[in-house]
């Protein structure tokens, strides 16, 4: 992905991140936070504006997944 961004040199990057990572639950938060920070730094280094999209909500019947997604969305909001 970064190779494509470097080649294309976009002015705006939409970063939709965290849904797949949320399946790791709370145990995955430290590595997610670190990876998100690294990715954001690399995108900003390209001098592109960054739009961060948190993971989508899930149906109410999926309470455990909803709770995990909220953890990851909170990390993204904190990073923003």
Average pLDDT, the chain: 89
In which band, very low, low, confident or very high, does the pLDDT at 44 lie, cut at 50, 70 and 90?
confident
Instruction: Write out the two tokens for 55.
Output: 């993971």
* CA separation for the pair 12, 30 (Å, rounded): 27
Q: Is the pLDDT of residue 30 over 90?
A: yes
* Per-residue model confidence (pLDDT) at position 65: 81
In which band, very low, low, confident or very high, does the pLDDT at 10 lie, cut at 50, 70 and 90?
very high
pTM for the full predicted model: 0.81
The candidate with the shortest Cα–Cα distance to 19, out of 52, 55, 63, is 55
In which band, very low, low, confident or very high, does the pLDDT at 51 lie, cut at 50, 70 and 90?
very high
């Amino acid at each position: 992905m970064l190779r494509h961004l470097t080649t294309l040199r976009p002015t705006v990057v939409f970063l939709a991140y965290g849904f797949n990572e949320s399946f790791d639950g709370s145990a995955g938060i430290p590595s997610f936070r670190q990876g998100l920070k690294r990715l954001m730094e690399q995108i900003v280094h390209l001098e592109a504006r960054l739009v961060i999209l948190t993971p989508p909500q899930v149906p109410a019947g999926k309470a455990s997944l909803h709770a995990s997604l909220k953890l990851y969305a909170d990390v993204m909001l904190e990073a923003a």
